[in-house]
Amino acid sequence: MKNKKAFILLDWLYLLLMAAGPVFAIVLKVLYTPISSDIDISGALVFFTVKMPLWDLPVTETQVNSLVVIWSLFWLCRYITHGISVRGGLKRQIVAEWIVEKTKALTTGNMGEYFAGFAPFVAAIMGLSAFSSLLTLIGLYPPTSDINTVGGWAILVFILITYYKFKCGPVHYLKSFGDPVPFLAPLNIISEVATPVSMAFRHYGNVLSGSVISVLVATALQGASSIIFSNLPGILHEIPFLQIGLPAVLSVYFDLFSGLLQAFIFAMLTMLYVSGAFPAEDYAARKAARKAKRAGNNK
């Protein structure tokens, strides 16, 4: 009985710690957001600036909310994996096993068995992207609306792409720019640089445009409602009747469906670009040649 109470208390502690991050971000936003009736699509709030030797470091909503997402995801994972065992028995263990199995299947299905170890990275990318976009449902600024966030993810993917292209050595990497014919090398170089740029702007543009459209439509409906119902008696003319329903539907699409879809697309592009950059056949042939050479030297 004592162990059961301790287990339940620890569960509640994990849930409270998971919720503490968003609550902190909401309080911070309320304290720093200026009171205004105008449309505000200026981007992330700057909370304060840290003086640095070369240039100042602004601490914005993007950084704070990104840390909030990481914090909440960490404690969510702690909650889901709390109490799992070989025998099972907990519903959360079913959820945890389902996430692991689906992520592994998605990774190996798109990248092959060689990249089976990429499953945690793919799950992290999807989780960070999805939960960052879903922050708009509780009125917080989504980090995915900042090009710096998704740009950093795209640069990380670009480093992985380059790393796996170098698996067969720098000479093979340089020769790959001349495929299928040497005079296409400039276009191949541009395509190489364009990969992270297109990934970043695709994700950033879709999330940001959804947020802007939702704000503009809600503001337009508020203005139309005040004009149409201005003659109603009492406080009825102050109620934005036209804002009831449609903004919520737009929020479901842009914040929920589109946010989750962009997270999936970014993860899929990551898997396809990284696995597509890896010259598996050439790498296997190079390994076989090295092995044969070592065997010959040992005789």
Strand 57-60 and strand 46-50: pairing?
Answer: antiparallel
The helix (run of H) or strand (run of E) holding residue 47 is: strand 46-50
Q: Which of 144, 261, 252, 250 is nearest to 204 (CA)?
A: 144
Amino acid 73: pLDDT: 94
Amino acid 127: pLDDT: 92
What is the average per-residue pLDDT within 94-101? 90
Expressed as residue numbers, the domain containing 147 is 2-298
Q: Which of 41, 199, 46 is nearest to 129 (CA)?
A: 199
Amino acid 137: pLDDT: 80
7-26 tens-digit pLDDT: 889 999 999 999 999 999 99
The rounded distance, in Å, linking the Cα atoms of 204 and 191 is 20
CA atoms within 13 A on the CB side of 119: 16
* pLDDT higher at 294 or 135: 135
Amino acid 288: pLDDT: 79
Question: DSSP secondary structure string, 150-177?
Answer: HHHHHHHHHHHHHHHHGGG-HHHHHHHT
Amino acid 142: pLDDT: 87
Give residue 286's identity as a one-letter amino acid code. R
Distance (Å) of CA 233 to CA 40, 222, 225, 278: 30, 18, 14, 70
SS3 178: coil
Could you give the number of structural domains in the chain? 1
Distance (Å) of CA 63 to CA 39, 202, 296, 298: 23, 21, 56, 56
* Structure letter (DSSP) for residue 211: H
The rounded distance, in Å, linking the Cα atoms of 122 and 174 is 28
The rounded distance, in Å, linking the Cα atoms of 267 and 170 is 27
Give φ, ψ of 186 to 5 degrees: -60, -40
Indicate if the pLDDT at residue 222 is higher than 90.
no
CB 125, CB 264: distance < 8 Å = no
pTM of the model: 0.82
**Could you tell me the pLDDT band of residue 153, with boundaries at 50, 70 and 90?**
very high
What is the average per-residue pLDDT within 266-275? 91
Mean per-residue pLDDT of the chain: 82
Indicate if the pLDDT at residue 232 is higher than 70.
no
Q: Which residues lie below 8 Å from residue 237, measured CB to CB, with a gap of 6+?
A: 226, 229, 230, 231
* Structure letter (DSSP) for residue 204: H
Rounded (5°) CA angle 3-5-9: 115
Give φ, ψ of 254 to 5 degrees: -70, -40
